[in-house]
């Protein structure tokens, strides 16, 4: 039972990281119209999303 739960947590974390990166890239590209900034902000992931929400 413990292994199944650990697998579910790992899958959720990986999905969350992927979704955070995609969301950051979309927000960045929509705001700045720059692929370079979108890639950079995608690397920052949830950090940029939280910054954007607090700032704007």
Tens of pLDDT, residues 11-52: 666 666 789 999 999 999 999 999 999 999 999 999 999 999
Q: What is the pLDDT of residue 13?
A: 66
With CA atoms as reference, report the closest residue to 25 among 12, 33, 15.
33
- Rounded CA gap, 37 and 13, in Å? 24
Looking at 1-56, list the stretches that DSSP marks H as alpha helix, in order from N- to C-terminal side.
Answer: 2-32, 35-44, 46-55
> Do residues 52 and 25 touch, judged by C-beta distance below 8 A?
no
Radius of gyration, CA atoms only, the chain? 14
Rounded to two decimals, the pTM is 0.73
The domain segmentation of the chain, as residue ranges, is 2-55
């Amino acid at each position: 039972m413990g292994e199944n739960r650990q697998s579910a947590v790992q899958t959720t974390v990986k999905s969350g990281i992927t979704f955070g990166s995609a969301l950051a890239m979309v927000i960045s590209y929509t705001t700045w119209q720059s692929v370079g900034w979108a890639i950079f902000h995608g690397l920052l992931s949830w950090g940029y999303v939280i910054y954007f929400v607090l700032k704007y």
